[in-house]
Structure 1
Amino acid sequence: MFKKKHALIPLLALSVQLLTPGCSKKVNDLNMVEMTIDRTSVALLPNASQTVTVTGGNGDYKAVSSSDAVAKATVNGNVVTITATSDKEKAHALIVITDKYFKRQTVDVDVAKLFDLTLSATDVALEANVAGKNEVTITINSGNGGYKTELVGTAGQMVELNTTKLASHGKFTIKATAAGSPKIMVTDAKGKEVIMNLTITAPPAITLSKTQVDLSAVQGSEEITVTAGSGGYTLKVANPLVAKVYVNDNKITVKGKANGTTSIAIEDKKGQKATLNVKVAGGDFAMNFTDQYFAYANFGDIAIVDQTIKSVKKVTFEMNCRISGYRGLQTFMGLEGNLIIRGKNDDFRPTHPIQIVGLGDRITLETTKSFNLNEWLHIALVVDCDQTDVAQKYKFYINGVQDPLVVTRNDETHTSINLASSSDGNRFEIGRSFGQDFRALRGIVSEARVWTVARTAQEVSNNMCVLTGSTTGLLARWNFTAGVETGYIQDTNNGGKYETNLILANAKLGGNYTQLKVSASVFVSKGCPQ
């Protein structure tokens, strides 16, 4: 540019004005911010104007010129308009912008009849299709107005230009769309020109070792490798009822939850995207517990965020099973010492009712009928604590038909049920309780459900083997249809708020709750009560 000659007297006066507080407020006590502006220099032809925007500050902005004979400034809100008043070959002024707390910024103003055309940058590196790295805004630092841009050669295949602010603000934006070395020519009204050289790179597209995962077991899994990409992968499952997904570096593991199809959206740290399609088509199985295995869950994990499950007024426990042998106190399902469904008598007894026991055995009921061996059986316990009559408070259904309960002890009944509490480590258990292997279930289980509502007789009867209609109040639903070696049974609670999987363990190691993996051979054909 040219040597600047500052008008000292106006600036000295301005300094006195700015440094003299207009009130007795203590500046250090004020909640103020530093002032920022979008540009600190402008180049103007005679009588031309440009704007400077205050991008941060404390309001009540004022602007003063060091020489009104060179340039004047007016303020409208946070926009300062600077207009050249000199008709000399070259002239310079300084505009000082202040706010109500005397924070300031300065703008150098050069006025001339002819300027060199200069830009804020002429060599620019961009990365196509990467947010934050694919665009740049170029400012014309000096020139002679009438600015135009031109994409040279095939540059239009690699960049897009936004020139909506070129005339008003002397700015334009370049957006990279493809890799290459495009050129852009900028010209002004006096025939001055500048060539911009761009270097554009592009991140690699995400590629996968395969784009379709087909799982032949409900709880099957498969690992996919990201063979190209920029790392930092995030994943989103379109239908989380069908599958779940984990990522470790460039390895993606897909695990099935229920039969169906879904897709997984994959994005890397540079914004590249890919889709992985998933289909789960597993067989319909049940798990043979024999008397070797049991399963447990802990609703206490839910209670951390939802205290209501500690004082539920209504519950329904359901199970589909096929029992192969009688055992005293063999556990069907429930909360030991709180509310549990269990067998009553050993083989040598003539009758084999099902017991419902709770509150430390202070309430004990049993079914009128015995249950049969080697037949598919649906059982459902419905408890409504709002009822005062024991016969209405506790109802039991066998194969969809209510079986009258015989009260054998009634020292206390439930006023509410804490689903996060049991005398066996607060576990909800299926197939064994209290760490005693003689209480292990002999049989096969295909499905179990826990509700926080009292299901009606019609709802119980209509949904023994297939769950349809409303699932309001369904806290957990376990289909024992994994079909592969596994250490857990997936909670398939139809999109409920919480997921509480069952942990599988060895029923023969009395008191041991260590998770173990059962082989695929324990998953056998399932049936339905007739």
Structure 2
Amino acid sequence: MLKKNHFLLLYFAIGLSIAMVSCAKKDTTFNAVELQVEQSKIALLPAKSINVKIENGNGEYRVSTSNENVARASVAGDVVTITATSLQDRSHAVIIVTDKAFKRTSIDVEVAKVFNLTLDQTQAALEVDVPGKSEVVISISTGNFGYKTELMENSAQFVSLDPAKLESYGQLGIKARAAGIAKVKLTDAQGKEALITVNVSAPTALTLSKTNIALDAIQASEEISISSGNGGYKATIANKYIAKASISGNTITITGKTKGNTTMTLQDKKGRTVTVNIAIDGPEYAMNLSDQYFGYANFSDIAIVDESIKRCKQTTFELTCRITGYRGLQTFMGLEGKLMIRGKNDDFRPTHPIQISGLGDKVVLESTKNFNLNEWMNIALVVDCERSTIGERYKLYINGVQDVLVVAKQDETHSTIDLTSSSDGNRFVVGRAAGQDFRAMKGSVSEARVWTVARTEQQIKDNMCGLKETSPAGLLARWNFNAGAETEYIQDSNGGKYETNLVIANAKTGGSYSPFAASKSAFVSKGCPN
């Protein structure tokens, strides 16, 4: 009865002090967590000490004991040290641990002159090299200190032991080495024994049919077979701008995105990993659209997270191409009905200017110069809605030199540009518009870019034949038509946080927008404007 009263008085005193402090001051600056210790029950020989680690709590820890004549405690950082003070054969005390958030927990202390050697577990299952499953900590529930360990028979080939905390914490670490059954004998100073059986398994090794990939075309693909593994596969590309990986069953497909070197790490559900080296190189190509193909993209997905592209004050459209034939309203690039670059006249006409149309043809402008056939040409349209005059608001550059635009119609001009909107199903198109086959481009394209800034004449001139700048501001999409392999899309290689690939479709199928695989032969030698 007296023993029970000791405990009641201790809890009452602690509870009263907490209540008084909490009434005086409430700390709401952090989210308190529950207080947890590594062991809630310990056994001690007289005059012996043991450490108990605080696993979770809120700091500023304090300890108290229910009976100083049985056990006392101290705390340093997150370690509670408990020492038996009783010389009696059997006695009991409770250590109370509290923190600054007034959370508390207890540790039961039993003191005796001799204990049986008991453990928190005598059976364990481990897996070699599997994170979270390759090691186990066995805690001594009761014992007589002076612990020694022994690996029975050939157990050393299956597990290794870490006895560093046996005396101070009453803990034995066991780590898996190889598949098999290990027997570990633990003996204390009184000759008491305990036997631990550890069943060790080894997951299947993760192996691949190859660990080096070299693609000789930018958008080429190559397959890798998973020869062995444990399922649940996940592939991670170190540089997502250079390549991508997809997994179907036991087959990994690596596809190039741009030139460079990177690695892919494959991991299975057991934590096994293997690394594949990836190198991508290939010739510089252009794509011969030849009025057979066109491309389209939709920026609406970007607008979900970045609505600014729906009200751009500035934009720049750039296209490097080689036109092989004239035709009326042939599409170069842009947003049909909103802002489009196109060829004006059929081949029987005497002049062949580049035409800019926008806002349902409420604004129409034409280049002063005609464009020539069978020559590589860079076209850049810069729109700056903050400019006051139409001549400053719309600028056209041909091969890096500004061409004075002739105003054919000026009923309205752009106050903003919505890059997600067009009368062509909200698509941004390269090579055909409005589902009209007669408006397909006759020629080849090496590169197309879309910007949300007004590029300068010098910037345009310096980057006509390839983008030399690193991380340029405002680059929304960059389609480099150098796939060099059969593909249904042109990779967006802008290197920014958004990726919008250009879907390839057949320009000869009565207005269809269904993805269509362009053959490898569609990719031809790339040229550069003079």
Q: TM-score range by the shorter chain?
A: 0.7 to 0.9
SS in structure 1 at match of 2:289: strand
Residues 418-471 of structure 1, C-alpha deviations (whole Å, 9 max, x = no match): 211212221111111122222111121121111222222222222211221343
SS in structure 2 at match of 1:458: helix
Deviates most, 43-52 or 99-108? 99-108
The Cα of 1:480 is off from its aligned counterpart by 1.6
Preserved contact between residue 86 and residue 111 of structure 2 (Cα < 8 Å) = no
The Cα of 1:108 is off from its aligned counterpart by 5.4
The Cα of 1:138 is off from its aligned counterpart by 1.4
Structure 2 counterpart of 1:477: 478
Preserved contact between residue 289 and residue 443 of structure 1 (Cα < 8 Å) = yes
Residues 54-85 of structure 1, C-alpha deviations (whole Å, 9 max, x = no match): 656799866554x766x234464876654434
| Cα distance in 2 between the residues matched to 1:85 and 1:364 | 97
1:366 aligns with 2:366: yes
Change (3 A) 1:101 1:506: same
One-letter amino acid of the structure 1 residue matched with residue 3 of structure 2: P
Structure 2 counterpart of 1:497: 497
Structure 2 counterpart of 1:3: none
| Cα distance in 1 between the residues matched to 2:259 and 2:104 | 65
1:277 aligns with 2:277: yes
SS in structure 2 at match of 1:304: helix
Taking the TM superposition and a 5 Å limit, the aligned residue runs for 1:130-529 are 130-151=130-151, 158-470=158-470, 471-493=472-494, 495-529=495-529
Preserved contact between residue 295 and residue 505 of structure 1 (Cα < 8 Å) = yes
The Cα of 1:251 is off from its aligned counterpart by 2.1
| Cα distance in 2 between the residues matched to 1:34 and 1:458 | 63
SS in structure 1 at match of 2:517: coil
| Cα distance in 2 between the residues matched to 1:411 and 1:405 | 16
Change (3 A) 1:211 1:106: closer
1:9 aligns with 2:2: yes
1:95 aligns with 2:94: yes
| Structure 1: gaps (5+ residues) | 1-7
Change (3 A) 1:64 1:240: closer
Change (3 A) 1:56 1:469: closer
SS in structure 1 at match of 2:121: coil
SS in structure 1 at match of 2:392: helix
The Cα of 1:160 is off from its aligned counterpart by 4.1
Aligned identity (percent) is 53
One-letter amino acid of the structure 2 residue matched with residue 345 of structure 1: N
The Cα of 1:331 is off from its aligned counterpart by 0.7
The Cα of 1:499 is off from its aligned counterpart by 0.8
| Cα distance in 1 between the residues matched to 2:435 and 2:456 | 33
CA RMSD after TM alignment: 3.0
The Cα of 1:133 is off from its aligned counterpart by 0.7
One-letter amino acid of the structure 2 residue matched with residue 485 of structure 1: E
SS in structure 1 at match of 2:309: helix
| Cα distance in 1 between the residues matched to 2:238 and 2:45 | 58
Change (3 A) 1:331 1:135: same
Preserved contact between residue 245 and residue 255 of structure 1 (Cα < 8 Å) = yes
The Cα of 1:97 is off from its aligned counterpart by 4.0
What TM-score do you get using the length of structure 2 for normalisation? 0.87
Residues 90-132 of structure 1, C-alpha deviations (whole Å, 9 max, x = no match): 41425374869897656251412x3333333333221121111
Change (3 A) 1:198 1:102: closer
Preserved contact between residue 231 and residue 269 of structure 1 (Cα < 8 Å) = yes
Preserved contact between residue 32 and residue 101 of structure 1 (Cα < 8 Å) = no
The Cα of 1:168 is off from its aligned counterpart by 1.7
The Cα of 1:190 is off from its aligned counterpart by 3.5
Residues 38-62 of structure 1, C-alpha deviations (whole Å, 9 max, x = no match): 3243222222233445656799866
Preserved contact between residue 431 and residue 441 of structure 1 (Cα < 8 Å) = yes
The Cα of 1:482 is off from its aligned counterpart by 2.0
| Structure 2: gaps (5+ residues) | none
Change (3 A) 1:226 1:384: same
Preserved contact between residue 41 and residue 141 of structure 1 (Cα < 8 Å) = yes
The Cα of 1:205 is off from its aligned counterpart by 2.0
Residues 126-171 of structure 1, C-alpha deviations (whole Å, 9 max, x = no match): 1121111111111122222222335567655554443332222211
Change (3 A) 1:130 1:380: same
SS in structure 1 at match of 2:504: strand
| Cα distance in 1 between the residues matched to 2:32 and 2:290 | 73
Preserved contact between residue 206 and residue 274 of structure 1 (Cα < 8 Å) = yes
The Cα of 1:383 is off from its aligned counterpart by 1.9
| Cα distance in 2 between the residues matched to 1:243 and 1:342 | 33
| Cα distance in 1 between the residues matched to 2:382 and 2:201 | 65
Preserved contact between residue 35 and residue 105 of structure 1 (Cα < 8 Å) = no
Preserved contact between residue 71 and residue 109 of structure 2 (Cα < 8 Å) = no
| Cα distance in 2 between the residues matched to 1:126 and 1:215 | 41
The Cα of 1:396 is off from its aligned counterpart by 1.4
| Cα distance in 2 between the residues matched to 1:385 and 1:94 | 81
Preserved contact between residue 176 and residue 200 of structure 1 (Cα < 8 Å) = yes
Taking the TM superposition and a 5 Å limit, the aligned residue runs for 1:7-156 are 8-12=1-5, 14-15=7-8, 18=11, 22=16, 36-52=36-52, 55=55, 65=66, 71-74=70-73, 76=75, 81-88=81-88, 90-95=89-94, 97=96, 105=106, 107=108, 109-112=110-113, 114-151=114-151
The Cα of 1:336 is off from its aligned counterpart by 1.2
Preserved contact between residue 452 and residue 475 of structure 2 (Cα < 8 Å) = yes
One-letter amino acid of the structure 2 residue matched with residue 91 of structure 1: R
Change (3 A) 1:79 1:446: closer
SS in structure 1 at match of 2:227: strand
Preserved contact between residue 44 and residue 112 of structure 2 (Cα < 8 Å) = yes
One-letter amino acid of the structure 1 residue matched with residue 213 of structure 2: V
| Cα distance in 2 between the residues matched to 1:39 and 1:14 | 20
Structure 2 counterpart of 1:4: none
Preserved contact between residue 63 and residue 75 of structure 2 (Cα < 8 Å) = no
One-letter amino acid of the structure 1 residue matched with residue 493 of structure 2: T
Preserved contact between residue 120 and residue 140 of structure 1 (Cα < 8 Å) = yes
Change (3 A) 1:297 1:50: same
Preserved contact between residue 44 and residue 109 of structure 2 (Cα < 8 Å) = no
| Cα distance in 1 between the residues matched to 2:451 and 2:308 | 13
Change (3 A) 1:394 1:202: same
The Cα of 1:508 is off from its aligned counterpart by 3.0
Preserved contact between residue 71 and residue 93 of structure 2 (Cα < 8 Å) = no
How many residue pairs match? The answer is 515
| Cα distance in 1 between the residues matched to 2:267 and 2:200 | 21
SS in structure 2 at match of 1:235: strand
